Amino acid sequence: MARTAERVAVTGWGAITPLAGDADGTWTATLAGRSGIRALQEAWASDLPARIAGCVDADVAGALEPLQRRRLDRCSQLGLLAARQAWNQARPHLAGVDAARVAVVIGTGIGGLATLERQHCNLLEAGPGRVNPLTVPMLIPNAAAGQIAIDLGLHGGAHTPVSACASGAEALLLAQMLLNDDRADVVIAGGSEAPVNRLGLVGFAAMRALSCRNDTPDQASRPYSRDRDGFVLSEGAGALVLQRPDDLQADNPRPLGWLLACGSSSDGHHIVAPEPDGLRASAAMADALRRADLGVEALSFVQAHATGTPVGDLAEARALARTLGAHSRDLPVTAPKGQLGHLLGAAGAVETILALQALRRGLVPRSLNADPVDPAIELAVVRDAPLALAGGEAAGERYALKNAFGFGGHNISLLLAA
């Protein structure tokens, strides 16, 4: 029997996404119904089957030191900027914190893909002497976690979950474990990804996983829609600072929200396709609810993984129906990838920030491009406008369930409160 988890506080967050260069801007754009997807006009994309993506427009290079611009892959750069934002926001809660008790947990699905592509081209076109000597430390998946620890001078351990598109959410699971087990007093957790390049786009397109609506990029990412034809690849990063509630000072700002519990499971079914009936994904959701000691009737909404693939969305809908039972027809469900695209290993972290914002503000963003909803998906998908939530549950809190699933059958469900 799973034991009840001990909640942890979110005291800072940061995000850099296709919608904005910070978390608040991303929330504002999400609530306004903006799309972060654009056509790729770069010459390198001209012959690709999918020529649309969610790209970060913020000035990444301008926020970095010259050495960081040259020696960090874009995946690490994005993760570092999101972590700095989160750390700076959490500063009122960090006075006197021992750097040896601060851990970093940053997940990624792929890591330094742009470095891998660029240096492989150098090898083929110009020979071994033209390969950057920093190729390996730039492309390894744990580079972002290591660079964040270096930048902020943290010594409590640096960890990197690599579980495809569940990586950012799994980072939060690991962070809660570190805090509950007293292995750290503070954890910076999240995810980062920078896959928008030829290799990334061709690789996913070859699997027929991507939408090819090149003429209408803002309508291409269509979670739960009857007309969905694949996801849109995006880049970005999200990071959250987590602490135990007993370590917070009463005279500091109240936490931004709470991570109550995390559930997990593995499909054990297929390396790419989800288990079609959603049995194991449902088990992850039930695990989170059980560890939080909450019933589905306490939930204000669900934030779905929903990438816009025909198979994946249907499997998640079945898992939700199995988990929610009679509540599946009326509990609001939102799918942020209609606006963000799919940030892969960063998705779970960025979307968790949006879910906490929704709980704090009592507004659930609509699922862009979900109309018409697939008739086989019998969920209360929020579509037309943001949905105002009723007053908080007992103790003044609202609760949300957030899903993140990844290739390999990785299933993570988070129980959030604010």
What percent of the chain clears pLDDT 90, i.e. is strictly above it?
Answer: 96
Contacts of residue 386, defined as CB under 8 A and 6 or more positions apart, other chains included, come to 31, 363, 364, 365, 366
Distance, in Å, from the CA atom of 61 to the CA atom of 342, rounded to the nearest integer, reads 23
Q: What is the pLDDT of residue 91?
A: 97
Query: Confidence class of residue 4 from pLDDT cuts 50, 70 and 90?
Result: confident
Residues 183 and 64 placed together within one structural domain of the fold: yes
| Residue 253 domain-assigned (yes or no) | no
Q: Report the number of distinct structural domains present in the chain.
A: 2
| Residue 273 domain-assigned (yes or no) | yes
Judge whether residue 382 has pLDDT over 80.
yes
Asked if 80 and 160 touch (Cβ cutoff 8 Å), the reply is: no
- The catalytic residue among 93, 165, 262, 410 is 165
Residues 331 and 224 placed together within one structural domain of the fold: no
Q: What is the pLDDT of residue 161?
A: 99
**Per-residue pLDDT reduced to its tens digit, 175-230:** 999 999 999 999 999 999 999 999 999 999 999 999 999 999 999 999 999 999 99
| Residue 256 domain-assigned (yes or no) | no
| Residue 2 domain-assigned (yes or no) | no
Torsion (CA) 55, 333, 406, 265 in degrees, nearest 10: 150
Among 191, 213, 247, identify where a domain stops.
247
Please compute, for residue 44, the number of CA atoms within 13 A of its CA located in the half-sphere on the CB side. Answer: 10
Residues 95 and 222 placed together within one structural domain of the fold: yes
Residues 237 and 336 placed together within one structural domain of the fold: no
Q: What is the pLDDT of residue 184?
A: 99
Q: Is 305 a catalytic residue?
A: yes
Q: Which residues sit opposite 15 in a β-bridge? A: 238
Judge whether residue 165 has pLDDT over 90.
yes
| Residue 3 domain-assigned (yes or no) | no
Q: Is 342 a catalytic residue?
A: yes
Q: What is the CATH number of the domain that holds 286?
A: 3.40.47.10
Residues 144 and 68 placed together within one structural domain of the fold: yes
Residues 269 and 216 placed together within one structural domain of the fold: no
Residues 106 and 181 placed together within one structural domain of the fold: yes
Residues 26 and 164 placed together within one structural domain of the fold: yes
Q: What is the pLDDT of residue 368?
A: 99
| Residue 306 domain-assigned (yes or no) | yes
Residues 177 and 277 placed together within one structural domain of the fold: no
Residues 19 and 142 placed together within one structural domain of the fold: yes
| Residue 252 domain-assigned (yes or no) | no
Residues 285 and 147 placed together within one structural domain of the fold: no
**The tokens 């291409």 sit on which residue?**
220
What percent of the chain clears pLDDT 70, i.e. is strictly above it?
Answer: 98
| Residue 65 domain-assigned (yes or no) | yes
Q: What is the pLDDT of residue 392?
A: 54
What is the residue range of 309's domain?
A: 261-417
Among 208, 225, 247, identify where a domain stops.
247
Query: Confidence class of residue 249 from pLDDT cuts 50, 70 and 90?
Result: confident
**Could you tell me which of 112, 35, 129, 42 has the C-alpha nearest to residue 77?**
112
Look over the chain and give the mean of its residue pLDDT values, rounded to a whole number. Answer: 97
Residues 180 and 277 placed together within one structural domain of the fold: no
Among 225, 247, 269, identify where a domain stops.
247
- The catalytic residue among 93, 159, 305, 410 is 305
φ, ψ of residue 226 in degrees (nearest 5): -60, -30
User: Encoding tokens for residue 387?
Assistant: 């949905």
**Per-residue pLDDT reduced to its tens digit, 5-64:** 799 999 999 999 999 999 999 999 999 999 999 999 999 999 999 999 999 999 999 999
**Could you tell me which of 39, 16, 41 has the C-alpha nearest to residue 29?**
16
Positive or negative, the CA dihedral 272, 333, 50, 235 is negative
